[in-house]
Structure 1
């Protein structure tokens, strides 16, 4: 096969050029970013279906909260005019469905409920507005803070098919509009969408920058080690082509980069560099003084065809184990990571016959590393008890730390403390209080409707209970519309009339006639479903789940006899990610270990050796999980994939080590001599690739974004642990369990 590939190498080159040209539209489309819910959840996921039903009933639930602040009071003619003009400018934006604020609120004239005027019209004095709001506490709570220094504007965004792609630009425009009407430093933007837009923008910027710097450092190190431009072209070509073709297919199939698939280049460079340097190392061992031509290159490729195919299959199997995940984003990531790994094998051999014959052998780095590694191995054998004890201690410490590991997600914590989104969030919570919406759906039981006095009173009682929670603030729902209307008509005590059927029926008719759009935001007439929004603090997924459970218990106590209550909107999806991450990590790791064990067993033909080979693969995963547990690093969407990456890294080196060891045994060497020869033969590649990859990923420690920092930190530590497992633990296991 290698000889045939060499004979047709230039035709292969033409094929590559044509393939790259055909895939260019896919690459251009694939590198676009899409972190929409469709990328994260399966189409038939019950949580996603429920969220889509909620949006169909009440529209887009994404709300931008804008806080406007004045150090003295907002009830001045100038501030009133500013709030009116800002509200109108925001309403005029095509992506905005509605703005609920003091600037858009209309109130009845003295003539009655039907004739309305703006709350902050030019004829109303600040004192009159204050008096009006003081008699209507439900309305005041939604518009101003108790000291009237902060006003809240709820900007309801319009749903659209490509809303997720446009979110960042829409928020930038809303911030620009606000800045044109309010002095700098006197306004803040908050909301789930604001946090995610900031996180997406910074993650793309930081990840692209530091991954690029890391790649540059890796190839600089390769140049310094081998001092050969052809070898540099060979390794760079494998990684670049595999990445390009993977992204091309990815884009042509309609996928876009997301928080997980942006890691595809990370996987490809790991496997691409490792197999490439194993080929280079093998050729350096075969090179004879004065030898020319492609003979050594072709023989090196023949020698490594079987182990490289085995590493590809075991690693592909590990990533395809992610198909067991309940998350669409992890399934897609596993499939295309597997594709990229397969392409690495193709280009390792395809470019091997094209490029490597032109590169003069450079055995210096291999020879120096080999000699030092053999010396180090002999030192380990002289102190095998100490090395064994250290290894057992590290495993025990890792397992103990893994028991402390928790699954959680706190998106705001990924941003640096000086980020604009973090500053706005802190200022908004300090001036206004909890502001993030947590949605609940209320479905009246048989014999009741949302306008039933019993349901309205129960909803009001639930709102009073919810406000006592430390993590909750204001509560506004369908019952609040009736309360506000009754207060408008009867004064501050109007809310007490929720139990009177005649007053409620009259108010229901007036709301349907005079405020149908406002009513539709909290009441879905066809299904008779009501909406209650609890303003909460920015919480982690685990904390959000606990808060939601508490709210549901309160709702069961107050609303339970007359209605069913369930969580709705985006927050349940956010909370469910934690459960999915835990399930995905557990299932995929267990399945991948079993697949790797089976494939290695088939490859080496010896079950005992296959089990021994699995141990150095497990060791860095244990270290990784232990470090995360001891350091308090949660297992979330930013860290869940690292274990799979570590497994792929270890499997590759382990298979090459086993292959070389078995070859030495077949040649008649005893176990001790075979281990020494294997360490000298394969060890240099393991050490050099580890050094190159460790240096590249350690660059990410300079990033300001926590996700990039953690990825660089944990990947670097895992690479170091994998090196320890391959050059210390695995040889010790062979020395102990594979004797003469």
Structure 2
């Protein structure tokens, strides 16, 4: 019997079983107590590393002007349009109430829009809908005409059909606490609830960046509340069906619980905040921890059914599985740790948390599990005939059809790989959320009825201090506004040149012929100063003009376009500015722009991480299997599943987001497990039993085939459970990984054996089966 030290270790575990059990529980409780420090991040910026150029450009923009987040209330009367006395009164009511929101700095709506007009020789600036004036039919008609003709309002705060309007609240969050966003959203929902009670005939939707931030934490809580119970149910059902052992099922559940608790506790001790991607770590750990236990239990229970005592079965199971389980845990941890190369910190956290869970699962599987099984009663029915008939038939099928399978699987992989280039990257942050999340439904409503939610911002520097009043500069800015309005997907452009046009008309008796840019710098500067002095508190122009009036903030609102289209618009816009306003060379930015580049950047960064993981995993296999040839051969079945999964995704879906950039790394560490167990059993038969390659394949199928089938089914079910997530990234991650795991089982059963037979030939083939070896032998 090989592995003498493992036998000694197993005997020690059995002898000290109570100490091992108590020590394991004490360790899990001590480490798991860190769970009290777990928190949830409520900032979309967590998806971007500190050195992310798009994040740096966005933060630079906010430093020049103001650091703004917003909540947008979208209002639509059930019948009729916005311009009625009742509706205008309701809008003003909500506008005034919105000033009371925590951290609010500015509130904009059609009612408090600062409308300017000439009154004799004076410039009058007042709310478009006066608070105390009676809203006569004539007055409402004038308000309607002004609002629908005002470039700063149309397609931004009022829909062209006058059916929908918005109240936009600008907030400045201190960034001192993770509770700021939930507090602001809770207050916003209270306002909306009270508003709905008073105005049940008005539909209200809530969107904006603060709502986006809050949706991230809500998605995390939703996943934790639903996915983990579902996963536990799947595990219990699967174990009872496959193991047919209540004690074995309980033991596995305890290992799973200890592993997940340890990992999440360590996460709390390390001060890592959860995000929607990293909040799936418990579900993934539950899935992976089951795989370790199943290999040990399948061998142990089979040995007992063949007549071995429980003590002998525990020792034999550890002897046979200790090294493969260690190796699979190591390679899985390497795969997840490679996520530290990700450009998105939440995926780094996911990798580190899961790696901690994988290591904890290995420790508990080879210590707590055998110790617990040594204590509890195990009742199994003794079998006199083999239970591997299915695996035996599959082995014979593979041996008979080795050449067709080799060529057929190769053709299938190539055919699926052709579909990979068809996949388009699209990271629209609204689509990250399932329609079951209120943010998604409200934002879809806003985009369909009022305006786009996606924006792109520019900062256009002038030549010097006060240079924004230069006619030449304003003319170029205006030309850029006109060009941008003509671009596909642009629904609104907010530019201060529209204010200069209106002021110039006002200062010439509201003569429409003067609705043009001032042609003198002094006049432009005077108009702007006079207008700013007339603005009430909170409605200044600091969000559009920097302190020394040497730069303008320029904002375009976009329809529901893809991130590829957004990247094209950004590049074309920057090219236009560089060619026409060279002194204002700038980088376009916004949260949407940041998300538009995140997949592209992450794929580039993960190429290094995945490549390094593949090298380390291959070296680990070469060393552990003590075979350069077999270790290198293992790369093929370990890479092919990801190719097949992405090929199927390209064929059936054709679009993917941020999840695509990490699936290769996460699935690599997991799909290696099947090939490790199959190869270790194959080499054991060749080296210890002197079996021919054909009989070694039979031995591998007989000893580990059923366990691989069971663990793959559990893994597919576990990652498939993520399809129920309310967060699209988790859905894609789960479904793609489940596809890769299923493809790995197919490759390890139908492709790996023909490859082994092709490179590991003997002069004399043993095509006829000998006595079929049993699991654990």
Q: Same fold (TM over 0.5)?
A: yes
Stretch deviating more after TM superposition (317-326 or 194-203) = 194-203
Q: Is 1:97 aligned to residue 105 of structure 2? A: yes
Q: Is 1:213 aligned to residue 230 of structure 2? A: yes
Distance 1:112 1:6, change over 3 A: farther
Deviations 1:537-559 (A, max 9, x none): 1333222212222332343454x
**Residue 258 (structure 1) shift:** 1.3
Distance 1:368 1:402, change over 3 A: farther
Q: Is 1:328 aligned to residue 333 of structure 2? A: no
Q: Is 1:152 aligned to residue 166 of structure 2? A: yes
Q: Is 1:275 aligned to residue 289 of structure 2? A: no
Tell me, which stretches of 5 or more residues in structure 1 are unaligned?
none
Match of 2:526 in 1: 506
**Residue 435 (structure 1) shift:** 4.8
Match of 1:413 in 2: 431
Q: Is 1:538 aligned to residue 555 of structure 2? A: no
**Residue 38 (structure 1) shift:** 5.2
Match of 1:579 in 2: 600
- On the 8 A contact 2:105/2:170 being kept in 1, the answer is yes
Report the Cα distance in structure 1 between the residues aligned to 2:347 and 2:453, rounded to whole angstroms: 31
Secondary structure (helix, strand or coil) at the match of 2:388 reads helix
Match of 1:137 in 2: 150
Secondary structure (helix, strand or coil) at the match of 1:390 reads helix
Distance 1:196 1:365, change over 3 A: farther
Report the Cα distance in structure 2 between the residues aligned to 1:139 and 1:69, rounded to whole angstroms: 20
- On the 8 A contact 2:681/2:700 being kept in 1, the answer is yes
Secondary structure (helix, strand or coil) at the match of 2:569 reads helix
Q: Map 1:451-470 to 2 at 5 A.
A: 451-470=469-488
Match of 2:47 in 1: 40
Deviations 1:688-707 (A, max 9, x none): 22233334444555667655
Match of 1:228 in 2: 245
Match of 1:180 in 2: 194
Report the Cα distance in structure 2 between the residues aligned to 1:500 and 1:367, rounded to whole angstroms: 100
Report the Cα distance in structure 2 between the residues aligned to 1:436 and 1:313, rounded to whole angstroms: 43
**Residue 348 (structure 1) shift:** 0.6
- On the 8 A contact 1:65/1:435 being kept in 2, the answer is no
Secondary structure (helix, strand or coil) at the match of 1:323 reads helix
Deviations 1:455-508 (A, max 9, x none): 222212211221122311221133334334334433244441432223202113
**Residue 419 (structure 1) shift:** 6.5
**Residue 607 (structure 1) shift:** 1.2
Q: Is 1:119 aligned to residue 140 of structure 2? A: no
Distance 1:360 1:509, change over 3 A: same
Q: Is 1:687 aligned to residue 675 of structure 2? A: no
1:637 paired residue among 658, 669, 692: 658
Match of 1:674 in 2: 696
Secondary structure (helix, strand or coil) at the match of 2:487 reads coil
Report the Cα distance in structure 2 between the residues aligned to 1:540 and 1:162, rounded to whole angstroms: 33
Match of 2:542 in 1: 520
Match of 2:760 in 1: 738
Distance 1:568 1:528, change over 3 A: farther
Match of 2:450 in 1: 432
- On the 8 A contact 1:88/1:104 being kept in 2, the answer is no
Secondary structure (helix, strand or coil) at the match of 1:535 reads strand
Secondary structure (helix, strand or coil) at the match of 1:186 reads strand
- On the 8 A contact 1:231/1:359 being kept in 2, the answer is no
Q: Is 1:313 aligned to residue 330 of structure 2? A: yes
Distance 1:64 1:543, change over 3 A: farther
Report the Cα distance in structure 2 between the residues aligned to 1:687 and 1:498, rounded to whole angstroms: 77
Match of 1:717 in 2: 739
Q: Map 1:591-670 to 2 at 5 A.
A: 591-667=612-688, 668-670=690-692
Distance 1:161 1:437, change over 3 A: same
Q: Is 1:11 aligned to residue 19 of structure 2? A: yes
Deviations 1:620-677 (A, max 9, x none): 1111111122123434223443333322222122222222222222222222222211
**Residue 243 (structure 1) shift:** 1.0
Q: Is 1:300 aligned to residue 317 of structure 2? A: yes
Q: Is 1:128 aligned to residue 144 of structure 2? A: no
Report the Cα distance in structure 2 between the residues aligned to 1:703 and 1:327, rounded to whole angstroms: 20
Secondary structure (helix, strand or coil) at the match of 1:294 reads helix
Report the Cα distance in structure 2 between the residues aligned to 1:346 and 1:217, rounded to whole angstroms: 23
Match of 1:60 in 2: 67
2:88 paired residue among 71, 80, 88: 80
Match of 2:775 in 1: none
Distance 1:243 1:468, change over 3 A: same
TM-score by length of 2: 0.87
Match of 1:728 in 2: 750
Match of 1:26 in 2: 34
Tell me, which stretches of 5 or more residues in structure 2 are unaligned?
1-8, 763-777
Report the Cα distance in structure 2 between the residues aligned to 1:422 and 1:379, rounded to whole angstroms: 50
Deviations 1:419-445 (A, max 9, x none): 754554444344434353321111123
Secondary structure (helix, strand or coil) at the match of 2:516 reads helix
- On the 8 A contact 2:406/2:755 being kept in 1, the answer is no
- On the 8 A contact 2:252/2:293 being kept in 1, the answer is yes
Stretch deviating more after TM superposition (60-69 or 227-236) = 60-69
Deviations 1:222-275 (A, max 9, x none): 112223222112211222111111111111111121132123224323432222
Report the Cα distance in structure 2 between the residues aligned to 1:259 and 1:656, rounded to whole angstroms: 33
Q: Is 1:477 aligned to residue 495 of structure 2? A: yes
Stretch deviating more after TM superposition (112-121 or 370-379) = 112-121
Report the Cα distance in structure 2 between the residues aligned to 1:468 and 1:240, rounded to whole angstroms: 58
Aligned residues: 738
Report the Cα distance in structure 1 between the residues aligned to 2:81 and 2:306, rounded to whole angstroms: 87
**Residue 20 (structure 1) shift:** 3.7
Q: Is 1:161 aligned to residue 175 of structure 2? A: yes
Deviations 1:513-543 (A, max 9, x none): 3448512111111583321111111333222
Report the Cα distance in structure 2 between the residues aligned to 1:620 and 1:453, rounded to whole angstroms: 62
Distance 1:703 1:377, change over 3 A: same
Match of 2:462 in 1: 444
Secondary structure (helix, strand or coil) at the match of 2:587 reads strand
Greater fraction of residues in helix: 1
Deviations 1:673-730 (A, max 9, x none): 2221121111121112223333444455566765555445433332321111222211
Match of 2:774 in 1: none
- On the 8 A contact 1:318/1:595 being kept in 2, the answer is no
**Residue 381 (structure 1) shift:** 1.9
Report the Cα distance in structure 2 between the residues aligned to 1:530 and 1:447, rounded to whole angstroms: 12
Deviations 1:175-196 (A, max 9, x none): 4424533444533334355456
Report the Cα distance in structure 2 between the residues aligned to 1:112 and 1:220, rounded to whole angstroms: 83
TM-score by length of 1: 0.91
